[in-house]
Structure 1
Amino acid sequence: MAQITLVAAACVLVLSHSFLPGVKGTTFTIVNKCDYVVWPGILSNAGVPTLPTTGFTLQRGETKTINAPTSWGGRFWGRTHCSQDSAGKFSCLTGDCGSGKLECSGNGAAPPATLAEFTLDGAGGLDFFDVSLVDGYNVPMLVVPNGGTGQNCTYTGCVGDLNDSCPSELKVMNTDGGTGGVACKSACEAFRQPQYCCSGAYGTPDTCKPSSYSEVFKRACPRAYSYAYDDKTSTFTCAKADYTITFCPSPNTSQKSSQGQDTETTAATTSPLDFNSTMVYEGAFEESGASPSILAHVFRSHAIVGIVGITMAVRWIF
């Protein structure tokens, strides 16, 4: 009888947790403000559930909403210059995940790639997040928390276009018939030396210091990770937030304006995260709500788990 009571109580807890109105995951709203198509990729951390998609197409001006379960962790990035060959193999010039398909299916981004990294419901119940250039840079990105609380709950990202201003020894050039740079390598990726990779004798915060190359990234994007131990100014925390991830929240600064002005020069002389420029960031701060169909799927999934648990428990007891 005691066993039956304990099992029943546990099952009630599972089911009640599934249907409490305050229990929900985190909503990620992915927005493409670039003047070109972006193919976002997603990699979940080891030991956590994968999201409903691991790769998709985001047309110019398009938005996609994804719901993540509590305690999820992983990264988002943008793939660019993607195509499919005659054999059906999908590949990208930047951020390619090597799966040969639109979905990344457990594969991460090949450097260089701008990364948005998240650990939800971590220490103290806080979400930890950052935008990282440790693996290089390929596309402007902004992360904005919506509805969260906390002293360090604020935006981060790398809004300026670094591809054309990238040092020549780090620059990745276009190979699909276009011109100009399409990505900017990290010094670690370019030179494979311990002092740039924070490895070997340089594997601690005391021995691995910013390099002249990482400082190029840091000056352009002061809130983004520029090298492995760039924690103090680059990690942010929120409680109970949803997040908007925007590609190219400002105009594409690798392009000339209609007046002929080099907009990259303008971006270089303006704070990359100057939120007084409301027109530049239009659309980046919209509140994100979870799709009703996705939430319904989540609740149904929890209910099924609870019902299966009850059935198995009863069979085990009797």
Structure 2
Amino acid sequence: MRKTASLLAVALLLLFGAGAATAQGTSTADRTITFANRSGETLWIGANVNADGSQQLTDLPVLADGESATITVPESGEPQYWRGKFFARQDCSGEPGESFHCAVGDCGTEPGTCTTGEQPTGLAEFNFDPNDAGAPWYNVSYVNAVALPITIEPTGAEPPPDSGQCEQVGCSEPLLEHCPPENLTDGADGQPQLCTNPSRDERTPYSDAVQEHCPRAYAWSKHDQEPGNDVMRNCPSCDGFTVTFHEGI
């Protein structure tokens, strides 16, 4: 098993906002995240931050199918770290600032920023911290729900042999077809759109299905405590990441 105590500590930090001791690092450059939309539909990118002073992001992109866009993560500005999550807002409509809402990943009435917590969906989670020599840390989480499959791939770095670092996480294959029927919600077009975890803190048929078909993503909240789990990575040598949203069905 390649997971270490530090890996577990950061996993818990990402999911629950817990504090963790960090080693002194030397990286101060702000890294980038490129969002790639391969979902077959228009996506509004959403982001929420941990309750630790991390800066909420604004002017997040709207991507037609096949488009990509890049943002810079403010890891070197105040408070000198950034910990949060990105997700796809799907099937959105309405007047910005007034009636704008999304069927999946809804987080307020502003298209370019989130003003509330997100509705359940899949998450690309990150911990950027220049004072942590192991950072950035990253994972895909389907702890709450899964809609579009997500992959995270570091850029500008090769995975060191046998280290577990800088590897792709998540999965690209559709997962909704494996959703237990009682957990599945259809979209306005009658097609499967969202699979919701009925109990995020325990093993369920939902988590078993996700874990079987996407072992490099969190399927439930304590997944990282299972022996041999394969859900968390770090990549201190990377210059950024590509987060890709794939077709859901």
TM-score (norm 2): 0.76
Contact conserved, 2:44 with 2:63, CA < 8 A, in 1?
yes
Residue identity matched to 2:185: V
Offset, 1:59: 0.9
Q: Which runs of 4+ in 1 moved over 4 A?
A: 85-88
Larger Rg: 1
- For the 8 Å contact 1:42–1:108, the answer to whether it is kept is no
| Letter matched to residue 143 of structure 2 | V
In 1, are the aligned partners of 2:109 and 2:115 still within 8 Å (CA)?
no
| Structure 2: distance between partners of 1:109 and 1:86 | 17
SS in 2 for 1:36: coil
For 1:215, what is the secondary structure of its paired residue? helix
- Kindly provide the CA deviation profile for residues 174-203 of structure 1, in whole angstroms up to 9, marking residues without a partner as x: 2x3x11211101122xxxxxxxx42xxxxx
- For the Cα contact (< 8 Å) 1:128–1:236, is it kept in 2? yes
Contact 2:186 2:193 in 1 (8 A): yes
Report the counterpart of residue 230 of structure 2 in structure 1.
Answer: 233
Q: Distance in 1 between matches of 2:117 and 2:58?
A: 16
1:102 maps to 111
Which is richer in strand?
2
Equivalenced residue count is 207
- State which of 46, 57, 60 in structure 1 corresponds to 2:62: 57
Which residue of structure 2 lines up, in the alignment, with residue 173 of structure 1? 186
Distance 1:247 1:134 in 2: 17
On the 8 A contact 2:133/2:236 being kept in 1, the answer is no
Q: Percent identity?
A: 29
Aligned to 1:160: 173
Take 1:239 and 1:157, find their aligned partners in 2: how far apart are those partners?
Answer: 19
Structure 2 counterpart SS, 1:30: strand
Post-superposition offset of 1:128: 1.2
- Determine the structure 1 residue equivalent to 2:241: 243
Unaligned runs of 5+ in 1: 1-21, 189-196, 199-207, 255-318
TM-score (norm 1): 0.60
Q: What secondary structure does 2:64 align onto? A: coil
Structure 2 counterpart of 1:96, which letter? D
Tell me the CA shift for residue 37 of structure 1.
0.6
Cα distance in structure 2, aligned partners of 1:172 and 1:129? 28
> CA separation of 1:163/1:89 partners in 2, compared to 1, >3 Å: closer, same or farther?
same
The answer to whether residue 100 in structure 2 is matched with residue 90 in structure 1 is yes
1:118 is matched with which residue: 119, 123, 126?
126
Gaps of 5+ in 2: 1-26, 76-80
